[in-house]
Amino acid sequence: MPKISGSEAVIKCLINEGIEIIYGYPGGAIMPVYDELFKYQDKIHHVLTRHEQGASHAAQGFARISGKVGVAIATSGPGATNLVTGLADAQIDSTPMICITGQVSSKLLGSDAFQETDIIGISTPITKWNYQITNASEIPEIFAKAFYIAKSGRPGPVLIDITKDAQFELFDFSYSKINGIRSYNPIPDINNNKIKEAAKLINQAKKPLIVWGQGIILGNAEKELINLVDKTGIPAAWTILGASAIPTEHPLNVGMLGMHGNYAPNIKTNECDVLIAIGMRFDDRVTGDVTRYAKQAQIIHFEIDPAEVNKNIEVDIAVLGNAKQTLKEVIKYVHVNSHKNWLKEFSDLYQVEFNKVINAEINPTKKGLTMGEVIKQINEFTKGNAAIVSDVGQHQMVACRYANFKISKSNITSGGLGTMGFALPAALGAKMAAPNREVVAIIGDGGYQMTIQELGTVFQTKAAVKIVVLNNDFLGMVRQWQQLFFEKRYASTEMVNPDFVKIAEGYYIKAKRVNKRDELASAIEEMIKSKEPYFLEVVVEKEANVFPMIPTGSSVSEIRLS
């Protein structure tokens, strides 16, 4: 076989792994790889984003909706460091992603050469694995390992840094995928005794509660979760990254947990006798004050990552393994049951929340438009089949609370890191991964302007993303805290915004602005029916707050309705 360059080997590795779309931005230290990309345009479609952070978030959106590995590529120095936010976001949200960065020649490493940055040192805490390639012969093995590590077990991001001389070097190329690495055990063996102990506890429970997270979606365990819920009759609540694993309308889906979650599941967390946590990591936004979290309950934790067990909350039974397999096993031992009286307690509390919060949000009588009614109208025209990609802030909480989901992998948002600017590029990546699905980005006016340049990428790709900016002229979530806890000292949170419609039109994207209720439905209908990218700005109430709310440091029992 003829020898090939390291840069061509990079492309051949991606092709061998089935990669068809990558997101990136060229530069000097990665130019040899881009030269090979030019030759392989018929096999790999490169999307030129307007910023490397946009490339990383687009790769995340691609991965989150498809379940495949997303790929982003950048040059050395500032190109590499601009990927850092996306890497950190993917790490904490368990998103499978490969980031490829160019690096100065190996003889210049450590010399503070032009555009040299120690991206390996920088990214070590925020990647599942990283590696610097200085010899072309390393490329096939490192790429095979990278893809295996990124997508196996609990997924995560991997960064590969390649020196420029390694990209030019010639070598004999061959590629083999791998399905194992010595000392790396991504899926723990199932302990059948723990399965039986968990089933026994579930069968004895009088007031059980299931809380599920993204581990259900990452493990493709949606069917198994529904089977468990249906068989046992146990009410089930979700974290924001777990949303859509069970359809919104399922009778045992009792809503969202956490700081701005639903009233009933938060209150009942501290009243249940058995708490069954599946594929979630007891994040502080879910638990509130951990010293007062579910102290009355026996806790079962179904988890793939042993490091998460007893990290935040001490549990009584840990069932390790992929949720799809562990749930299949536990279903064999649990009894058919119903908990009608217990469920009625949830429905009674939902009615309290509906009367005090929800009805006013989705059926408002006041003059100003609410975020909730916008989401309600989107539900009307998408029938729960759309993928909702949200940024971070008040609009995120409202979107997660009120969006209807019929299909899994439909709620794509920045969970653990809380990255403003996530939604626009992530929605682009999601739409390119699932072109036949409706993808609607819900964004606040603050986060939108952090990655607004990606409108250029939307325009160039013609990806029919629907972009909805809920504009309250504030950094709304911070302002809400300032109102409630800092005596309305609105320090640096009021926004003086540009003409968003003109900006969108400058990118040749159809755009509209709505500030009246009687214009809203028709504007959303027009947006959803469009076969092209569409931007809709909705001017909402300036100082509206999102409730319910658990103040920081409070117990989930102290959730406030106003």
Q: Which DSSP helix (H) or strand (E) runs through 250? A: none
Which residue out of 8, 52, 224, 373 is catalytically annotated? 52
Cross-strand partners of 441: 389, 467
Q: Report yes or no: 546 and 356 within 8 Å, Cβ to Cβ.
A: no
- Judge whether 477 counts as a catalytic residue: yes
How far is residue 424 CA from its own chain's centroid? 13
- Judge whether 115 counts as a catalytic residue: yes
- In angstroms, the first-to-last Cα distance of the chain is 71
User: Which amino acid makes up residue 429?
Assistant: G
- Judge whether 354 counts as a catalytic residue: no
Which residue out of 20, 38, 107, 114 is catalytically annotated? 114
- Judge whether 377 counts as a catalytic residue: no
- Judge whether 164 counts as a catalytic residue: yes
Which residue out of 31, 68, 115, 196 is catalytically annotated? 115
Distance CA 247, CA 253 (A): 8
Side-chain half-sphere exposure of 114, counting CA atoms within 13 A? 4
Side-chain half-sphere exposure of 559, counting CA atoms within 13 A? 31
Distance CA 48, CA 252 (A): 44
Write the CB contacts of 442 (distance below 8 Å, at least 6 apart in sequence).
375, 388, 389, 390, 391, 395, 396, 399, 423, 468, 470
Q: Report yes or no: 210 and 278 within 8 Å, Cβ to Cβ.
A: yes
Write the CB contacts of 298 (distance below 8 Å, at least 6 apart in sequence).
201, 273, 274, 275, 316, 317
Distance CA 300, CA 318 (A): 6
Percent of residues in the chain assigned helix, strand, coil, to nearest 5:
45, 20, 40
Which residue out of 12, 128, 151, 164 is catalytically annotated? 164
Distance CA 242, CA 258 (A): 12
Give the gyration radius of the chain's Cα atoms: 24
Which residue out of 477, 500, 527, 537 is catalytically annotated? 477
Distance CA 46, CA 30 (A): 14
Write the CB contacts of 418 (distance below 8 Å, at least 6 apart in sequence).
392
Cross-strand partners of 182: none
Active site residues: 52, 114-115, 164, 477
